[in-house]
A and B are shown apart, each in its own frame.
Chain A
Amino acid sequence: MSVVNSSQTERRIVFLILLVAVALPLIFPIGWKTGVTNYTKMVWELVESTPDSSVVIFSFDYDPSTMTELQPMAEAMLDHAFSRHQKVLVTALWPQGMQMADQAIKVVKAYHPDITYGQDYVFMGYKVAGIVAIQAMGKDMEQVFPADQSGTKYKDIPMLREVKTLKDVAYVNSLSSGTPGIKEWVMAARDVYHTPVTGGTTAVSAPGLIPYVNSQKQLYGLLGGLKAASEYETLINRVGSATVKMDAQSVAHLLILLFIAAGNIKALRARKRRAS
């Protein structure tokens, strides 16, 4: 019984220390600098090198559970795309994606008050059927998106007049935390219609997508987790939420390493005690 109690107490101590360690850097930012990795640079270069007035797709394939990591990416990438005067078609393969998109646009509008709905961005809504919807976009965009969220017909949206299929889109940016998401965009948009695909995902999902960042450029770079979002903010000279949250994440990671070390010391002492 005492062993169980001691284990419970240890757990609570671990939780409490972590809570304090995460909260403190959020209240008193440390300001640690983040170096930029190649994968983030590749994403930035794709957005940077895309000509002005190109139509691009931002697909919000996540829900609020992963917003801590993905929302800063969405805001930073939207900011960059609008600063390059790109026209953003906003869609979602996840039901709650459009709500996330709406929030991201609201934040970015503070930096770009001149952007107008229908001219610079458009909300085309949530699309069911995942990869099949993307395949259909490759044949006829209007069939997949007959109207935008407010009911305006596809052909009446000024920025989409020249966009008939996925081939007319400069790149697709999928911010995804699972299926359907980046993988489906790579398989259906990049591999079949050769539309460049880039994106961001949670740190925990990034290892599974890294094989797609290869010499064939199935994926143009990848933003993996909060660190990559913070790197992107560095590249566009913006101190956004990722940069602020990165201190807390760094401290939490360090603390987890300390916990691992403490756990090992404890196990070693127990082993020695048993041996003696």
Chain B
Amino acid sequence: MKRNLPLFFAFFCGILVIVSEFIPHRPFSMLIDTLQNWFMIISGFAIILGQISLFQSNLSKIKQKESGWIFYLAGLLSFCLMLIVGLLWGTQETGGIFGHGLKLQASLGAKPFDYLFDFAYMPLSATMFSLLAFFIASAAYRAFIIRSFESNLLMITAVIVILGRTSFGGMLTAWVPESYKFWQLPNLSDFIMEFPNSAAQRAIMISAALGIIGSSLRIILGIERSYLGSDK
């Protein structure tokens, strides 16, 4: 029962969604509307579930003093801090348990949650992503080596696209006459993105879509059951 009931629901809902695409009339349209509402509600609860799971898994790692437990502790403390200030004084236009915390807003310039978001989370998050530039530069120096015809081709394409995406690239080939403007670096770069890139991307998209159809059918028909968790 514990396994068969979810399998039945998956089969019933999956078939219903497929049928409604072909017959968008009552009663299917009504049932699909209901399913959509349920999905949105369940997704909302999934966020709470995710937070509980995050809390529990971090807590157990700290208790067992796993390697790097101090980082889990920092993560957990940050999570609790944001949660508490968000619950007490709210965020943006939404008030919290203590209202909008006007006194705090006057001293900080924003609600505590928004203050932490703007001056702690946002710079940290942007910094983490920006670090990629340093790794790309280092990787480009060490790994982008011409070894074969294919790597040569990749290199030439990369150079054109990189230069074409800079202000400098346009200036470098600005002298090319209007009748040969295709050879200007930004136009060459656009050509590569629009044709060879699009063709390859479309092939990937179609293959991925076929893969998704296949795996969705496997779930609907109950062949793929890993989403149900272990048998224990």
Contacts and interface: CB of A to CB of B under 8 A. Distances in A.
Interface stretch (B54-62, B157-165, B213-221, B223-231): B157-165
Contact of B194 (A22, A210, A230, A250): A210
Contacts of B47: 95, 128
Interface string B130-172: 1001101110111111100000000100110011011110110
Contact of B166 (A11, A18, A139, A254): A254
A14 B125 contact: no
A156 interface: no
Given A63-B125, A65-B129, A149 B92 contact: yes
Contacts of B39: 129, 132
B105 interface: no
Nearest to B110: A102
Contacts of B130: 68
B40 A263 contact: no
State the main secondary structure of chain A at its contact with B. helix
A264 B190 contact: no
Interface string A179-197: 0000000000000000000
A267 B117 CA distance: 46
Contacts of B44: 128
A123 interface: yes
A169 interface: no
Nearest to A65: B129
Contact of A99 (B114, B137, B155): B114
A15 interface: yes
Interface stretch (B3-11, B63-71, B196-204): B196-204
A239 interface: no
Contact of A136 (B37, B194, B201): B37
Question: Contact residue range for chain B?
Answer: 35 or more
Contacts of A208: 201
Nearest to A230: B167
Interface string A43-64: 0000000000000000000011
A253 B163 contact: yes
A123 B165 contact: no
Contacts of A38: 190
A177 to B, nearest CB: 9
Interface string B115-133: 0011001110110111001
B141 A260 contact: yes
B186 interface: yes
Contacts, number: 155
Contacts of B186: 35, 37
Nearest to A95: B47
A211 interface: yes
A65 B167 contact: no
Interface residues of A, number: 67
B193 interface: yes
B93 A259 contact: no
B63 to A, nearest CB: 28
B205 to A, nearest CB: 7
A67 B122 CA distance: 9
B207 interface: no
A132 B114 CA distance: 29
Interface string A199-221: 00001001110110000000000
B94 interface: yes
B126 A64 contact: yes
Contacts of B170: 33-35
Interface in A122-181: 123, 127-129, 132-133, 135-136, 139, 143-144, 148-151
Closest 7 CB pairs of A and B: A32-B167, A250-B166, A150-B93, A64-B125, A259-B141, A65-B129, A128-B43
Given A32-B168, A67-B125, A211-B202, 8 more contacts: A68-B126, A98-B92, A103-B118, A129-B43, A227-B167, A230-B167, A247-B167, A264-B145
14 contacts: A15-B138, A32-B171, A33-B167, A34-B167, A35-B170, A64-B126, A67-B122, A96-B117, A99-B117, A132-B36, A150-B93, A253-B168, A263-B142, A264-B145
